[in-house]
Structure 1
Amino acid sequence: MLTVSTSCGAIETVPYRSDPLHHYRCVADLPDPVLLDSGGPHGFDIIAAAPLADCCLHLPAAPDAAAVAAFFAGLEARHGARPPVDDARAALPFAGGLIGFIGYDATLPLHGLTGRAGPGSTPAAVVNEYPWAVVQDRSRREAWLVARPGLPAGWRRELLTRLRDPSPPPTAAFQLAAPFEADMDAEAYREAFDQVQRFIGAGDCYQVNLALRFSAPFSGNPLGAYALLQQSGSAHFGAYFPLGPGRALLSRSPERFLAVRRGVVTTEPIKGTRPRSADAAADRATAQELMSSDKDRAENLMIVDLLRNDLGRNCRPGSIRVEELFALRSFPAVHHLVSTVRGELAPGQTPVALLRDSLPGGSITGAPKRRAMEIIHSLERAPRQAYCGSLFYLDDAARMDSSILIRSLLAEDGQLHCWGGGGVVADSVCEAEHREIYDKVGGYLRTLETTAQ
């Protein structure tokens, strides 16, 4: 059994669990637990709880510009005060630090827009500072408890006892009381789609991501809903983030937003979608059709250009490069076109500044970003809340990874909300764009609707 302890922290081996929900349940009764779930046979899982009591940063449901500025200043200050990291902790992908989300609504004041409060009072952003975490390596099938220096020995023993429990407490039942309903029917969606087309025709914009919100009443523990979604297929950026009794953010996102490693910035925007087929030949044909689609490639390229500009605000001039363009990546429900853009942080710039200046992600707004956001604000019937924001970690070794909060749900006040959207461009067809929304999230809705009475 590995045990490493230095003045810069400690690492101890704990049992590997193929289902990270096992370790999560072991600590779920502690304050503010969180699960980052990489899915599949590779990658890492991160489970943490009991953050530092005096280091919670949050934004109200509809913050103003001053509150958003203070929030990011607080993030910068907390990250700047992080403790040192030795080689042992740095060898793991997370060494303790900040974990949280910044919702789409929290980003509106960054672009001169006024937020709308959602149906509940769920915060627009929450970030906690965690002095310890469980880190699982799925490839090596190994797991460790990693702790900052100063974590009391008694508290560490308590965590080890919990994490070595072969049978943690069960999760309370989850059930929908009715099927999901969209906030716009097909006719209302067409009216919004046609309005976007008029804006594009007038030269206001080139692309707008238009979304629907689906809602259903539920009872029980939202963790049960996450467990069902987890069983329906893997996600590179899965997450479960409780926000109080009966409230939680659930994400099965496939999309990386921003990652920072040793000063190198990576973003991987998704644009271009086709549904998977159970027939192998038909599935290959669909994937090939997506890869050769001029419309989807143009849509993807618009967002790549937008993100190059966003990264240019904090990256060293001349360092930004497109390393992969229009790569096919296949997920359980859909095929996507994914591009990869990299740059190098400029001297004096920080991951927090990069995050602030790049939010919200261009792949879920449109181009140009500010005008697309104004159009979204005028046409979508419900605030996006956390949807299309970003969930991220920023650790003591100055490493950041973050996702775009797509394929994500919000449980609040007895309602479970799920959003789905797609980029509308000049040659989009309304029926195809509407169908694409259901291709993306329909599987999740149907999975959860199996619990409805």
Structure 2
Amino acid sequence: MAALARAGFDDYVVYENDGTWTFAGGSLATVTLDATHVRVRSVVESDTEWSGSPGAALRAALDSLPVPGWRAYGSVHFGFSGLLPGLGLRGVAAPAGDLVRLLVPRTEVTIAGGEVTIRGEEQDRVREILREPMTGAAPRPRPIDVRVDGAGYRERVAQAIKEIRQGQYQKVILSRSVRIPFAADLVATYEVGRRGNTPARSFLMRLGGAEAAGFSPEVIVTVSPDGAVATQPLAGTRAFGRGADEDAAARTDLESNPKEIFEHAVSVRTAQEELRRVCRPESVRVGDFMGVKERGSVQHLASLVCGDLAEGRTAWDALEAVFPAVTASGIPKRESLDAIARMDEARRLYSGAVLAASHDGSLDAALVLRAVYQEAGVTWLRAGAGIVADSTPEREFEETCEKLSSVAPFVVPA
């Protein structure tokens, strides 16, 4: 995947999903969506004003492509939430710029179980790249201090705790950015970082001048061709990777801590409510309640919420129902989004999604966390923590440091 990413494709997405790795390079078609228009750039081009459901607008644009059997890969910014019915904030301007960018690739390479499948153009070139031996010295990351801006973040957390105790909302995720003082080689960062992480999904991409590499701990939603839907909220966090005894003690604390259990339980309840909007209500169920998932430098409480799409509903409806992820926004969502708009800087891709979608109705969307971002000469990390009534500013700041440590040790200078 790294070799293909270095091969000179203008735009590309690498997506790892449960042992299957896909490289999507070059643009056979691009679909973008902003607050008012959905645009298609392909053999046939269009610029269409949309209203109502942004997911329906995206589905119609993709279905209009003169590309049989299309598959699309790309990104959804956190600001997409402001376009969703019921989540738009009064007095807040619609987010500017493209909020969704999807690539239907000219060249698609899938590697699963040692089998390589190549679709589209440049197949001979791809085979040559894959035959090249891996040579050269291992990339050398540069240390990054993740403990900056502690006072500013603690002040915002304290304000959120005050608002929660006043009854304005139950939970909110507040985040902070860490500026990296050098340009990063994101391909090398992805190579090194993937070896040091155990993600639910991983991704590496360059789309429209923006780059990102990440090791997503959580799936926002998956939809199979037959309409089976799943989301897996992760809420409740402790450090991991500090030695067997410390990890075991942290896990015991995680599984018995009232604040962490409450934070997780309300997230699972919200996920159930969201799936019932688009699934047959009787099909919505919870599996593996409050299991523990180890994700790089942290461990989380995790539950799987599943259902079956109701008649007439699509994968894009399911994405709208659960977006933004409850574990990256808060409860209730509208009130927590208001708090995020007041207390967080613009998130852009952070806590949005990287996704793969197909003509067969399937969709797989990973939550964009534990990532490094690079755009317009600026490189940064970002992490957040879930604030509830029993939170403390010091502990939530420490949680952001633990999460940042899933990526910070692996950033390789350009």
Q: Is this a same-fold pair by TM over 0.5?
A: yes
For 2:32, the equivalent position in structure 1 comes to 57
TM-superposed deviation, 1:408: 2.0
Matches within 5 A, 1:251-262: 251-261=214-224, 262=226
Structure 1, gaps ≥5 residues long: 1-19, 86-94
Candidates 10, 30, 37, aligned match of 2:9: 30
User: C-alpha distance in 1, partners of 2:55/2:128?
Assistant: 34
Candidates 271, 281, 284, aligned match of 2:248: 284
For 2:42, the equivalent position in structure 1 comes to none
TM-superposed deviation, 1:322: 0.9
SS at match of 2:385: strand
- Structure 1 residues 443, 305: CA separation in 2 closer, same or farther (over 3 Å shift)? closer
Q: Say if 2:115 is the partner of 1:142.
A: yes
Q: Say if 2:76 is the partner of 1:76.
A: no
For 1:90, the equivalent position in structure 2 comes to none
User: C-alpha distance in 2, partners of 1:346/1:76?
Assistant: 17
| Letter in structure 2 aligned against 1:21 | A
Structure 2, gaps ≥5 residues long: 39-48
* Contact map agreement 1:61 1:124 (CA 8 A) in 2: no
Candidates 97, 105, 114, aligned match of 1:130: 105
Q: Say if 2:294 is the partner of 1:320.
A: no
For 1:194, the equivalent position in structure 2 comes to 158
User: C-alpha distance in 2, partners of 1:282/1:220?
Assistant: 32
Q: Which runs of 4+ in 1 moved over 6 A?
A: 60-63, 82-85, 168-171, 173-176
User: C-alpha distance in 1, partners of 2:275/2:406?
Assistant: 34
TM-superposed deviation, 1:220: 5.7
* Contact map agreement 2:14 2:23 (CA 8 A) in 1: yes
Q: Say if 2:407 is the partner of 1:444.
A: yes
User: C-alpha distance in 2, partners of 1:435/1:208?
Assistant: 16
Percentage identity across paired residues of the two chains: 24
- Structure 1 residues 174, 72: CA separation in 2 closer, same or farther (over 3 Å shift)? farther
User: C-alpha distance in 2, partners of 1:116/1:334?
Assistant: 35
| Letter in structure 2 aligned against 1:37 | E
Matches within 5 A, 1:42-191: 43-53=19-29, 55-59=30-34, 72-81=55-64, 96-110=70-84, 111-113=87-89, 114=92, 123-130=98-105, 132-137=107-112, 140-145=113-118, 147=119, 151=120, 155=121, 157-167=123-133, 179=144, 185-191=149-155
* Contact map agreement 1:62 1:117 (CA 8 A) in 2: no
User: C-alpha distance in 2, partners of 1:312/1:241?
Assistant: 33
- Structure 1 residues 106, 100: CA separation in 2 closer, same or farther (over 3 Å shift)? same
User: C-alpha distance in 1, partners of 2:52/2:136?
Assistant: 41
Q: Say if 2:405 is the partner of 1:430.
A: no
Candidates 139, 143, 168, aligned match of 1:204: 168
TM-superposed deviation, 1:160: 4.7
* Contact map agreement 1:107 1:359 (CA 8 A) in 2: yes
User: C-alpha distance in 1, partners of 2:274/2:407?
Assistant: 32
User: C-alpha distance in 2, partners of 1:368/1:414?
Assistant: 36
| Letter in structure 2 aligned against 1:135 | T
TM-score, normalization: structure 2?
0.86
CA RMSD of aligned residues (A): 3.2
* Contact map agreement 2:54 2:83 (CA 8 A) in 1: no
User: C-alpha distance in 1, partners of 2:187/2:51?
Assistant: 29
User: C-alpha distance in 1, partners of 2:67/2:141?
Assistant: 45
User: C-alpha distance in 2, partners of 1:134/1:424?
Assistant: 41
SS at match of 2:161: helix
User: C-alpha distance in 2, partners of 1:387/1:215?
Assistant: 14
- Structure 1 residues 104, 84: CA separation in 2 closer, same or farther (over 3 Å shift)? closer
Candidates 373, 386, 400, aligned match of 2:363: 400
TM-superposed deviation, 1:348: 0.6
Number of residues of Structure 1 aligned to a counterpart in Structure 2: 398
TM-superposed deviation, 1:33: 1.5
